[in-house]
Chains A and B, each alone.
Chain A
Amino acid sequence: MDFELSEDQRLLKDSISRLLSDNYSFAARRGYMQEANGWSRKLWDQYAELGLLGLPIEEKYGGFGGGPVDVMLVMEEFGKVLALEPFLASIVLGTTAVKLAGSEAQKSMILPAVAAGQIKLAFAHGEQQARHDITDVLTTAKKEGNAWLLNGAKSVVLHGDCADKLIVSARTAGERHDAGGLSLFLVDGTAAGLVRRGYALRDGSRAAELAFTNVRGEPLGAIDGGLPVIERVIEAGIAAMAAEVIGCMETTSAMTLDYLKTRQQFGKAIGQNQVMQHKAADMLMSMEQGRSMCMLAAMMVDEEDREERTHNISLAKVGVGQAGRAVTQAAVQMHGGIGMTEEYAVGHYFRRVMTFEHLWGDCAWHLAALAAKIS
């Protein structure tokens, strides 16, 4: 057991932290949201220069060869400043799918280009009717001659508006809720028949609705064998975004603490009131419990035993989700009116954490999954 970071990990954390603190003031962030696709192209290039975009990619494909703990460290830093760039979508979700399902040729073509910042990926799986059920896929792929043609729609695809290549799940066999018969396809962002409608989520990050009409796709991995990959991509996403939530909690906690020390009412700092102090202590406890669960998720991403992995990821999703909700709701409350305003950062962190909760199974969903296994 060892909770220490290696020297390399400390350096990684420091360098990303420095880059972000120099470039990601809340005001600067507002500017990035106005850029094309709603994030900073300049910073994306700097991430590439730092090697961040190849972080979880093997060295032989031009990456850094990092693991889930490295991803956790970076995501935590992104969370602290509410970074808008498509790291989670492309570097975590996208590359996980390619790494797990791609052929050697696909990996050699895609991964080096991703690491170099030349192309971005997105993972298009969720559909409007599916809510949290990952087997509920209506999009179909049929083979016509040599080509696979996709028809259907994907919903709330993170950074689906700017991705150069989409990894799309589609039903190649079976009925709506069948676990079998799902396959993954690589689809060009500019493919004929693909309509993308981009928008900002409540937290300001970007997503898209995608519609497919006879869109050509290239199989990624075994036909009908997509579900295990989809599961692991989502698990990697949960672990990474959990770390982002830890970063969000850290910043909101620090802001709240600062506010408690400076905001005067009745002739004294509001933090001198024990009721506020105990709320702050509750926030701290929730954050640390959440951090423990985030570490658990990171350790589980590469676990080969599916039962062990999914069980612990569910524990972590609930733990981080509940902690994140408790901390950020308390932060808004303790700021009073200013916490309710769009111009103040706390509400933005609150909304990022809210987004995490509603992606890839909310607390109720994962609790139900855990409850089903009680024996």
Chain B
Amino acid sequence: MDLRYSPEDQAFRLEVRTFIDENLPEDIRNRSRHGYGHRKEDIVSWQRILNKKGWAAYSWPTEYGGPGWSPTQRMIFQEEIMMGNAPEVSGFNITMIGPVLMQFATQAQKDYFLPRAANLDDWWCQGFSEPGAGSDLASLKTAAVRDGDDYVVNGQKIWTSTAQHADWCFVLVRTDPHAKKKQEGISFILVDMRTPGITVRPIISIDGAHHLNEVFFDNVRVPVANRIYEENRGWDVAKFLLGNERTGIARLGKSKERLAYAKELAREVQQHGKPLIEDPAFRRRAAQIEVDLKALELTQLRVVSAKKKEAGKPDPFSSILKVKGTELLQETSELVMDIGGPLAMPGWAKELAAMSNEPPYGPDWAPAMAGPYLMMRAASIYGGTNEIQKNILTKAVLGL
């Protein structure tokens, strides 16, 4: 047993870090650091920089144009991306639809879609959840009815992140409403977002921003050729998709970066005439987060290294990573916001400045402190709520 990274892994980390340092445009980095998030054009241009280097499809094997990295290298890569405040590589493209295409698609589909997904020529989104099918995903109702060489799709998806940017959507539809089990009547199809009959309606989330959407399908014609795998076997595809790369969901690097940022701010912000970082309550909170980060990091390494031995099967332990990882994302975003105190509360500072030509209210970082905290409440809801993760542990590990 040896918990240290090998010299090769350490050299790899340095290589990734150096590449990010040298190639990530400064404005993109700063927007991320200050909590403003990444704009579409930032994400696209960065993913293309990575793709040129051969790193965008970081989890893919070499035969599909990926770098062929080990699970440990992939983990290091993701962590460095997050710690370096670079846009994260599109999960929809690289870790969700990519592996599904490799596993189930025709050669023609692979040849067409995979290189475009890697280069973000196509922005993918995920059409899974519905108003009546959240955690209970298999209850979905969006219907696809065969008509010649097409399916005619009618229904509604919801919580569709970044649908407003998307070129394509992978969608779960009901193709057999009479199947004995609800899981058995579902198919997995690829839908061009420009197809007539699709309406994307924004959902503004509690951070005041537009990440989420409703997507309506009104007699949308999708070629049967765009179905992945067999008709009514889409649940198998969905399970495969959700079982992939679950370790990434902990987003450990992001929490590490947020803690580092919090300390940086706390050196700047004063209280009682002293930097906040000297406040024992702040220090203790940061220390507790450090403890929890370390435990998560090592647990993640255990899951990743166990994965090497038994590939292709989702490890129920990755549910631990989801729960603990999202708790840390929430705690770190809360810590950052709390540093701002009352300055973190105004949400209108930027708009006001833009309207009046006055400089923004407060320091650069102030207006964007509460947004990530508010949005991070979603972390324990998306990707299978943390309660669902506990159900998984209960069944798969504890046998209750």
List residues of chain A with CB under 8 Å of any chain B CB.
1-6, 9, 69, 257, 260-261, 271-272, 274, 276-278, 280-282, 284-285, 288-290, 292-293, 295-296, 298-299, 312, 315, 318-319, 322-323, 367-368, 370-372, 374-375
- Interchain Cβ contacts under 8 Å between A and B, 15 examples: A1-B6, A1-B9, A1-B305, A2-B2, A280-B398, A280-B400, A292-B295, A292-B299, A293-B294, A298-B1, A322-B291, A371-B286, A374-B263, A374-B283, A375-B263
Residues in A whose Cβ lies below 8 Å from that of B284: 367-368, 371
Are the C-beta atoms of B400 and A261 separated by less than 8 Å? yes
Q: Kindly state whether residue B88 has any CB partner on chain A within 8 Å.
A: no
Residues in A whose Cβ lies below 8 Å from that of B263: 374-375
Contact A277/B277 with A315-B291, A371-B286, A374-B287 known, Cβ cut-off 8 Å: no
Are the C-beta atoms of A3 and B286 separated by less than 8 Å? no
Contact A296/B298 with A2-B305, A288-B320, A370-B291 known, Cβ cut-off 8 Å: yes
Residues in B whose Cβ lies below 8 Å from that of A290: 295
- For chain B, what secondary structure do more than half of its interface residues adopt (helix, strand, loop), or is it mixed? helix
The size class of the interface chain B forms with chain A is 35 or more
Distance in Å: Cβ of B207 to nearest Cβ of chain A: 28
Are the C-beta atoms of B390 and A1 separated by less than 8 Å? no
Q: Kindly state whether residue B280 has any CB partner on chain A within 8 Å.
A: yes
**Residue in B2, B282, B390 whose beta carbon sits within 8 Å of that of A281 in the complex:** B390
List residues of chain B with CB under 8 Å of any chain A CB.
1-6, 9, 72, 263, 277, 280, 282-284, 286-288, 290-292, 294-296, 298-299, 301-302, 305-306, 317, 320, 323-324, 387, 389-391, 393-394, 397-400
**Residue in B6, B295, B400 whose beta carbon sits within 8 Å of that of A277 in the complex:** B400
Most buried by B among A4, A285, A312: A285
**Residue in A276, A285, A372 whose beta carbon sits within 8 Å of that of B324 in the complex:** A285
**Residue in B72, B277, B291 whose beta carbon sits within 8 Å of that of A1 in the complex:** B72
Query: In the assembly, what is the distance between CA of A69 and CA of B3, in Å?
Result: 11
User: Nearest residue in A to B395 (C-beta to C-beta)?
Assistant: A277
Query: In the assembly, what is the distance between CA of A319 and CA of B288, in Å?
Result: 9
Query: In the assembly, what is the distance between CA of A6 and CA of B2, in Å?
Result: 11
Contact A289/B299 with A284-B320, A284-B393, A295-B1 known, Cβ cut-off 8 Å: yes
Query: In the assembly, what is the distance between CA of A282 and CA of B324, in Å?
Result: 10
Distance in Å: Cβ of A31 to nearest Cβ of chain B: 33
Residues in B whose Cβ lies below 8 Å from that of A312: 294
Are the C-beta atoms of B291 and A319 separated by less than 8 Å? yes
Residues in A whose Cβ lies below 8 Å from that of B390: 277-278, 281-282
User: Nearest residue in A to B296 (C-beta to C-beta)?
Assistant: A289
Are the C-beta atoms of B287 and A370 separated by less than 8 Å? yes
Distance in Å: Cβ of A28 to nearest Cβ of chain B: 28
Top 3 nearest A-B pairs by Cβ distance?
A: A292-B298, A371-B283, A281-B390
Residues in B whose Cβ lies below 8 Å from that of A292: 294-295, 298-299, 302
